[in-house]
């Protein structure tokens, strides 16, 4: 059997402070403040996203698609706003709008040849 008597005991934090030095927050009244809606919390946390005429959308309503390869790019703020507005209006995932855009582009190239 293992001899545990040789192990050092970790030091403790010491004695707690006297009640006079402790915070009085436990005696204060508890007031429940309702949390703002998610979009407002995001806008408050990231003010650059919530400029005039811009809405903050959350991705919690996204659904599983089976797509596994990540695709990222940089776009202008105007493009981003227009793209997101179209996707929301037509109730499309961003990837679905990209796929439709690519198909339309390919069709227009073949028509021009």
Which pTM value belongs to this model? 0.44
Question: Tell me, what's the pLDDT at 106?
Answer: 94
Question: Tell me, what's the pLDDT at 27?
Answer: 79
Token pair for 26:
């436990």
Tell me the domain boundaries of the chain: 73-113
Per-residue pLDDT in tens (0 to 9) along the chain, 113 residues: 677 777 777 777 888 888 888 787 877 788 877 776 766 666 666 655 555 555 555 555 555 667 788 889 999 999 999 999 999 999 998 999 999 999 999 999 888 76
CA distance 8 to 97: 63
Q: Which residues contact 101 (CB under 8 A, 6 or more apart)?
A: none
């Amino acid at each position: 059997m293992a001899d545990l008597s040789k192990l050092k005991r970790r030091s403790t934090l010491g004695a707690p402070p006297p009640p006079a030095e402790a915070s009085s927050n436990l005696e204060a009244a508890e007031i429940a403040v309702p949390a703002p809606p998610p979009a407002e919390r995001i806008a408050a946390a990231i003010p650059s996203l919530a400029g005039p005429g811009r809405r903050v959308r959350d991705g919690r309503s996204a659904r599983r698609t089976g797509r596994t390869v990540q695709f990222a790019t940089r776009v202008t703020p105007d493009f981003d706003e227009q793209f997101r507005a179209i996707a929301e209006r037509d109730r499309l995932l961003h990837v679905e709008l990209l796929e439709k855009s690519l198909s339309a582009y390919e069709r227009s190239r073949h028509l021009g040849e």
